[in-house]
Amino acid sequence: MSDDTLLKLAAVIESRKGGDPAQSYVAKLFDKGTDTILKKVGEEATELVMAAKDGERQKIVYETADLWFHSLVALAHFGLGPQDVLDELARREGLSGLQEFAQRKEK
Ligand SMILES: N=c1c2ncn([C@@H]3O[C@H](COP(=O)(O)OP(=O)(O)OP(=O)(O)O)[C@@H](O)[C@H]3O)c2ncn1[C@@H]1O[C@H](COP(=O)(O)O)[C@@H](O)[C@H]1O
């Protein structure tokens, strides 16, 4: 998956806002709202942890894809997108983890 794939998927997700929940899984999530979307993010994170504990490499990839996908839905729900996250990661480039941590404590 390239940055482009993330951006294209985000555009599809955005296009599902107000769509028919019977026709689209993403439209169904938007229709159900914040609690359902955040619950899915939590579930997918847990499934990833369980796959990682089992050490199943392909399952780890599969569950990470589910987590990234549902995170994109959550971002869209809050009026954000993958570019916002990519910008934040780019901002951190070159900072050591310790510098990043120190900056956070100042906020
Ligand atoms: N990448 C995904 C994607 N990954 C996972 N899923 C769905 O996420 C759900 C995963 O949840 P679970 O594993 O918990 O399975 P489940 O118990 O059946 O899920 P729930 O119904 O309980 O939520 C499944 O229903 C998958 O189909 C996805 N659904 C859609 N996409 C992308 O989103 C696009 C738009 O999808 P629609 O809105 O359905 O057209 C698609 O073209 C895809 O590119």
CA of 11 to the centre of ligand 1 (A): 15
CB-ligand 1 contact for 48 (6 Å cutoff): no
Q: CB 13: neighbour CB atoms within 10 A?
A: 23
pTM for the model: 0.91
Give the closest residue to 15 by CA, choosing from 4, 26, 2. 26
Pocket probe mutation, ligand 1, options 25, 36, 59, 67, max atoms within 8 Å of Cβ: 25
CB-ligand 1 contact for 26 (6 Å cutoff): yes
- pLDDT of 55-83, one tens digit each? 999 999 999 999 999 999 999 999 999 99
Question: How much is the ipTM here?
Answer: 0.91
